[in-house]
Amino acid sequence: MLVVKTLHIWMVISWFAGLFYLPRIFVNLAMVPADSVAERDRLLLMAGKLYKFMTPLGVLAIAFGFWLWFGYGFSGGWLHAKTALVAGLAVYHWHCGRVLKQFQGGGNTKTHIWFRFYNELPVIVLLIVLFLVVLKPF
- Please, is 127 exposed, middle or buried when counting C-beta atoms within 10 Å of its C-beta (0-12, 13-18, 19+)? exposed
Separation in Å, CA 18 to CA 50, 66, 74: 7, 21, 28
Residue 51 and residue 9: Cα distance in Å, rounded?
Answer: 20
Q: What is the pLDDT of residue 62?
A: 98
Residues 101-129 pLDDT 10s: 999 999 999 999 999 999 999 999 999 99
Rg of the chain taking only CA atoms, in angstroms: 17
Say whether pLDDT at 75 is over 90: no
Query: By the 8 A CB rule, do 86 and 65 touch?
Result: yes
Torsions phi, psi for 33 (to 5 deg): -65, 150
Position 76 scores a pLDDT of 87
| 129 and 62 Cβ atoms separated by less than 8 Å | no
pLDDT 10s digits, 30-74: 999 989 999 999 999 999 999 999 999 999 999 999 999 998 887
pLDDT above 90 (res 88):
yes
Alpha helices in the chain (DSSP H): 2-31, 37-72, 77-104, 112-118, 121-135
Q: Please say whether the beta carbons of 3 and 106 come within 8 A.
A: no
